[in-house]
Amino acid sequence: MSAVSTPQIELKGLRKTFGRVIAVDAVDLEIGDGEFFAMLGPSGSGKTTVLRMIAGFERPTSGSVILGGVDETEVPAFRRDVSTVFQDYALFPHMTVGQNVAYGLKVRGVGGAERTRRVGEALEMVRLGDLAARKPGELSGGQRQRVALARALVTRPRVLLLDEPLGALDLKLREQMQLELKAIQREVGITFLFVTHDQDEALTLCDRLAVFNAGRIEQVGPPSEVYEYPATRFVAGFVGSSNVIPAASAQAVVGRPGTFAIRPEKIRVLAAGATPSAGELGLTGTVDEVVYSGATTRIVVDAAGLQLSATVLNDEAPDDVAAASALRRGDPIAVAWHESALRPLEV
């Protein structure tokens, strides 16, 4: 990831059109050795197309794909040192788990004891050592996912591409697999490029992420930077949720021109009539909605012609939390936030 080492993946002016559809538009990106990198964006934003161009399954309309410092734009998929894990796993149903994992080694001519040893290691790594003789049809979704991972890692690629690999799993299993993926990536130390439309997943897993919108990258950075300093209105709304103070309200609410975002958890809810502290901006308004969700409560406030969401952590004694949740629609209320919590946006 440092400037001195050669990036494992470098995309330069990458573009792909399908007829009149611009799927990927002028993407520039560098991904370092050993990084866990996520491409995050809504469905149709071009993530899979970028991944397929890196793998060599799709030819760019223009631009280049540079892998390990070598321009491989014209190199066929089977010659590239990358493996792909697809959302639907694409396991061979008639082969056992062991045979599925061994397949990539077999076509590369790795035989005998070496192959057996490496298949064993890969299955141990995903904790499937006991299930080598089963067929994919006899496994759960999570286990099939692990077989796909073992199969991709057994050939020791320099780069592992993962296209929404956890998309078919239910939430609990998904969260468990996220932790396992992170541990496996630490263990093998190779570059992971992970595609997802789920912002929580991207923030949880990656060292850095790129936020895609309509075939372009809107922002690249570590999760905390992208979340705390969203550059654009799209990023502010797609990565977490944000209140946006539009240009028309900025002068009145913020005291200067511009468009601003502010995170719901940065807004403090005060009793009506209470004044903000030094360094804070404040507004008075009325309660529009109170949504209790266990650990937090979301309070929607109408103020200065805006609807602002504030998230309050329910970390007080149960009676106090109950009192706070007793707010009703139309109750007068005040909100306040630190000037530094406002993020100016490029619109």
Residues that bind ligand ADP (CB under 6 A): 18, 21, 23, 41, 43-49
Closest C-alpha among 226, 256, 218 to residue 242: 226
Q: Where do we find the tokens 């263990």?
A: 187
Residue whose CB is less far from Mg ion, 45 or 100: 45
| Minimum CB–partner distance for residue 65 and Mg ion (Å) | 18
Residue nearer to Mg ion on the CB measure, 115 or 216 = 216
CB of 48 to Mg ion, least distance (A): 3
Q: Which residues bind Mg ion (CB under 5 A)?
A: 48
Min dist. Cβ of residue 56 to ligand ADP (A) = 15
Question: CB under 5 to 8 A by kind: which of Mg ion, ligand ADP, none does 123 bind?
Answer: none
Q: Which is nearer to Mg ion, 48 or 83 (CB)?
A: 48
Q: How far is the CB of 325 from ligand ADP (least distance, A)?
A: 39
Nearest residue to the partner Mg ion, using Cβ: 48
User: Of these partners, Mg ion, ligand ADP, none, which one is at the site of residue 21 (CB under 5 to 8 Å by kind)?
Assistant: ligand ADP
CB of 41 to ligand ADP, least distance (A): 5
Nearer residue to Mg ion within complex by CB, 161 or 283? 161
The 243-245 sheet, strands edge to edge = 243-245, 260-262, 343-344
Residue 48 or 242 having the CB closest to ligand ADP: 48
Is the Cβ of residue 167 or residue 258 nearer to ligand ADP in the bound state? 167
Partner in contact with 285, chosen from ligand ADP, Mg ion, none, beta carbon below 5 to 8 Å by kind? none
Nearest residue to 50 via CA among 227, 211, 191, 238: 211
Name residue 45's amino acid. Answer: S
Q: In the complex, what is the shortest distance from the CB of residue 161 to ligand ADP, in angstroms, rounded to a whole number?
A: 12
